[in-house]
């Protein structure tokens, strides 16, 4: 029987609790024991942990956040930190550490593996979906839902005032969340890192789209989705530039951390459960240095390094849909 440890690290994402639950329930069923470290890698350094069993993970599948808390732990990059974590894991006789998190968390897991003999396995949990090697990450679907819902609400007031709205969504440096929120929310334009050329081209394109929109609908209610960390001088600068360009009123809305919260939608609960159960299977097979992911609804495993050495691309059907329905529809004769 194995002794398994789990932690959640980096930006929390809806579905992390569902994943912890799946790991615990699947482990118990096979006679393994599970402990959870608190506050991400910080708990590994301070030996702050607690036992987890089915009772402790009862009634958490629907809860956002993470019962183990999360953190970003810069000092874990140091060799001394990895050695200290290895010492604590050995003292607890842990066979495998499961890390639920994103890019930074996986770097931490790989770093630890240089100094610890136990098995390390990553499970992708981030609203950004910016991890190579998995079709989706835990929390991504719920964040899309939240952003879409916000765009629906913004549209009501945008229509009432016939105003232009800029809605900034998260995603770190990737446009997965922005792309899906824009398509599902029927935005009129989307600014994403994957499609971005430069500020002038973007302003020109919006201007052109807006003219077509005015002609077609006879009003100015127009919604632009913008991915964070992209517009050089920030969303307020873009709003000002658009006001000057269009002569209309522009209101910026930053959705921010609202996108990280809430009860996970069913897709995130199912993904979290699939990945949790599969990670326990990998522990039984003594696999290490891998991330478990999902491809075409099947669990997959890939080396941790590959998750950051490769860049995940927006799928071409997604890009095609965006260009057809949003940014370049005049080019497609869809004005």
Q: Which residues carry out catalysis?
A: 128
Helices (H), 79-184: 79-91, 103-113, 140-161, 176-184
Question: Whose Cβ is closer to ligand F6P: residue 7's or residue 24's?
Answer: 7
Name, in order, each residue with C-beta under 8 angstroms of 62's C-beta and a sequence gap of 6 or more. 263, 264, 269
172 binds ligand F6P (CB under 6 A): yes
Residue with tokens 């183990």: 68
- Please report whether residue 27 would count as binding ligand F6P according to CB under 6 A: no
Mark residues 272-311: x for contact with ligand F6P by CB under 6 A, - for none.
----------------------------------------
Classify strands 250-254 and 298-303 as parallel, antiparallel or unpaired.
Answer: unpaired
Integer Cα distance of 24 and 4 in angstroms? 9
CA distance 327 to 306: 32
Q: Tell which one of 11, 122, 185, 264 touches ligand F6P (CB under 6 A).
A: 11
Q: Which of residues 91-110 bind ligand F6P (CB under 6 A)?
A: 102
Backbone torsions φ then ψ of 167, nearest 5 degrees: -115, 115
Residue showing the smallest CB distance to ligand F6P in the complex: 11
Contact, 247 vs 158, CB < 8 A?
no
Residue closer to ligand F6P, measured from CB, 137 or 221:
137
- Residue that the structure tokens 């069993």 belong to: 53
Q: How far is the CB of 17 from ligand F6P (least distance, A)?
A: 17
Q: Is 127 in the site for ligand F6P (CB under 6 A)?
A: yes
Cα 310 from chain centroid? 17
Q: Considering the rule CB under 6 A, would residue 170 count as an interface residue with ligand F6P? A: yes
Number of residues forming the site for ligand F6P (CB under 6 A): 10
To the nearest whole angstrom, how small is the minimum distance from the Cβ of residue 171 to ligand F6P? 6
Which of these segments, 45-53, 108-116, 170-178, 270-278, binds ligand F6P (CB under 6 A)?
170-178
Q: Rounded to 5 degrees, what angle do the CA atoms 329, 333, 335 make? A: 55
For residue 84 the two structure tokens come to 């200290």
CB of 256 to ligand F6P, least distance (A): 9
Of positions 81, 126, 129, 209, contacts ligand F6P by CB under 6 A: 126
* Count of positions (residues) in the chain: 335
Report the C-alpha gap between 71 and 79 in whole angstroms.
Answer: 19
Question: Quick check: 264 binds ligand F6P (CB under 6 A)?
Answer: no
Q: Does 40 bind ligand F6P (CB under 6 A)?
A: no
Binding piece for ligand F6P, criterion CB under 6 A, among 79-87, 92-100, 121-129, 238-246: 121-129
H or E element at residue 275: helix 266-284
Residues forming the site for ligand F6P (CB under 6 A): 11, 102, 126-128, 170-172, 228, 260
């Amino acid at each position: 029987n194995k002794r398994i440890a789990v932690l959640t690290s980096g930006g929390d994402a809806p579905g992390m609790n569902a994943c912890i639950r799946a790991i615990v329930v699947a482990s118990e069923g096979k006679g393994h024991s599970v402990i959870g470290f608190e506050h991400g890698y910080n708990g590994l350094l301070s030996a702050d942990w607690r036992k987890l069993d089915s009772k402790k993970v009862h009634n958490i599948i629907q809860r956002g956040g993470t019962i183990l808390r999360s953190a970003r732990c810069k000092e874990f990059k140091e060799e001394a930190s990895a050695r200290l974590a290895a010492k604590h894991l050995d003292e607890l006789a842990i066979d495998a550490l499961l890390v639920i998190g994103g890019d930074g968390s996986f770097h931490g897991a790989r770093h630890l593996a240089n100094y610890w003999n136990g098995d390390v396995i990553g499970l992708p949990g981030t609203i950004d979906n910016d991890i190579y090697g998995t079709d989706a990450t835990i929390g991504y679907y719920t964040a899309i839902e939240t952003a879409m819902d916000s765009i629906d609400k913004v549209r009501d007031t945008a229509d009432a005032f016939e105003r232009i709205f800029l809605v900034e969504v998260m995603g770190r440096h990737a446009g997965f969340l922005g792309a899906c929120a824009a398509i599902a929310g029927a935005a009129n334009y989307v600014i994403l890192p994957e499609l971005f050329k430069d500020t002038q081209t973007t302003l020109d394109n919006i201007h052109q789209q807006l003219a077509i929109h005015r002609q077609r609908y006879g009003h100015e209610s127009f919604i632009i989705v913008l991915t964070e960390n992209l517009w050089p001088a920030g969303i307020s600068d873009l709003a000002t530039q658009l006001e000057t360009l269009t002569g209309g009123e522009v209101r910026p809305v930053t959705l921010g951390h609202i996108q990280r919260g809430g009860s996970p939608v069913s897709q995130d609960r199912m993904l979290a459960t699939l990945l949790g159960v599969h990670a326990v299977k990998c522990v039984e097979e003594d696999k290490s240095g891998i991330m478990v992911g999902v491809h075409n609804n099947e669990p997959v495993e890939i080396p941790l390094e590959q998750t950051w050495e490769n860049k995940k691309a927006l799928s071409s059907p997604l890009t095609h849909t965006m260009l057809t329905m949003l940014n370049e529809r005049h080019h497609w004769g869809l004005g």
